[in-house]
Amino acid sequence: MSACFFWSQYNMTKPIIKGDTIKVPSSPEFLPDVDGFLEGTLRGYGVDESAVADIAISVSELVNNAIVHGNKVSPHKMVTVRISRARKTVTVSVSDEGGGFDPTDVPNPLADENLLHEVGRGLFIVRSLMDKVDVQTTGTGTTVVITKAV
Amino acid sequence: MRLTDREINNVVILEPKGKIMGGPDASLLHDKLYELIENDKKKVVIDLGGVEWMNSTGLGILISSYTTLRNHQGELKLANVTDKIQSLLTITKLISVFEAHDSVEEAVNSFK
């Protein structure tokens, strides 16, 4: 059975977990699935609880963005989250299948005129909590890679 | 997220439990708030002691609750803010928006 068949395009209604990777359909209802998988994996790595929370918050921001802004909540598009650990760091990548975006084109959430906006803080929070954030975006999708020393 | 509520001295205490990250639970707090306003209950404390963590969606829900109550001549205060949420409120400058208290009792007593 090939890996292509495993990532069946015919079953896009529930999360798919394989090793250190989870793929979810683009719906906010699957946020708890990603969180559960992520936190379980991080605790298995022995990451302390404060770092688990910081990484979980950051990944939830990125998955939310991937679902809503990247994939436009399309049921036919998936969000992929991949987790890995090196000796002193944890790295998580979150990928969507959308049309890309300009990470510099996000209003400053700290500006007085934006303070009471209900949205627009996600990427700012990720950059504040993580040690490294790398955005790779093209017309066929965006991958954000975050790294935290643990 | 689970949401319970109780009332002390005409002040409603909302008690979310779990993580506030978005998804289907996001509307729970919002819907409850509108129910309170319709019943003329406009002094509200959100007890965050049972919230493990929240992301920007959670902060957005707090902001929405704050502005909704303010627009209906009501008031929202926070109680039992955990270190993790305090940190988020600080880095986003929202610490300057919300009145936060160390306990529900202190928050309730602060209403005039």
Q: Output the domain CATH number for residue A121.
A: 3.30.565.10
Backbone angles phi, psi at A38, to 5 degrees: -65, -50
Whether A7 is in a domain gets the answer no
Tens of pLDDT, residues B22-33: 877 778 888 999
* Chain B residues touching A118 at Cβ < 8 A: 60-61, 63-64
Q: Are strands B2-8 and A141-149 parallel, antiparallel or unpaired?
A: unpaired
Closest Cα partner for B29 from B60, B59, B65?
A: B65
Rg (CA), chain B: 13
Number of domains into which chain A is organized: 1
Q: Compute the count of residue pairs across chains A and B with CB atoms less than 8 Å apart.
A: 68
Say which residues have a Cβ less than 8 Å from residue B48's Cβ, sequence separation at least 6.
Answer: B16, B78, B79, B80, B81, B82, B85
Separation CA A27–CA A14 (nearest Å): 10
Q: Is A51 on the interface with B (CB under 8 A)?
A: no
CA A107 to chain centroid:
20
Which residues constitute the domain of residue A56?
Answer: 12-149
In chain B, the domains with their CATH numbers are 2-109 (3.30.750.24)
Q: Which of A35, A60, A110 sits opposite B93 (nearest CB)?
A: A110
Burial B67-102 (b: 16+ CB within 10 A, else e): ebbeeeebbbbbbbbbebbebbbebbebeebbebbe
pLDDT per residue as tens, chain A (150 positions): 444 444 445 456 889 999 999 999 999 999 999 999 999 999 999 999 999 999 999 999 999 999 999 999 998 899 999 999 999 999 999 999 998 888 788 888 998 898 989 888 999 999 999 999 999 998 899 999 999 999
Give the 3-state secondary structure of residue A50. Answer: helix
Whether A23 is in a domain gets the answer yes
Q: Which two tokens stand for residue A82?
A: 């991949």
Cβ–Cβ gap B63/A28 under 8 Å: no
Q: B42 to chain A nearest CA, in Å?
A: 20
* Chain A residues touching B56 at Cβ < 8 A: 61, 64, 119-122, 125
Whether A2 is in a domain gets the answer no
Whether A6 is in a domain gets the answer no
- Is residue B92 within 8 Å of A125, Cβ to Cβ? yes
Separation CA A101–CA B78 (nearest Å): 35
B51 pLDDT tier (thresholds 50, 70, 90): very high
Comparing alpha-carbon positions, the chain A residue that sits nearest to B19 is: A32
pTM score, whole prediction: 0.91
pLDDT given at position A12: 64
Q: For chain A, positions 11-50, list CB contacts with chain B under 8 A.
A: 28-32, 35, 50
Separation CA A132–CA A134 (nearest Å): 7
* Interface with chain B: mutation pick from A30, A118, A124, highest number of B CBs within 10 Å: A118
Q: A57 to chain B nearest CA, in Å?
A: 6
Q: Which value does ipTM take for this structure?
A: 0.91
Cβ–Cβ gap A128/B91 under 8 Å: yes
Separation CA B103–CA B45 (nearest Å): 10
pLDDT given at position B103: 96
Q: B104 to chain A nearest CA, in Å?
A: 24
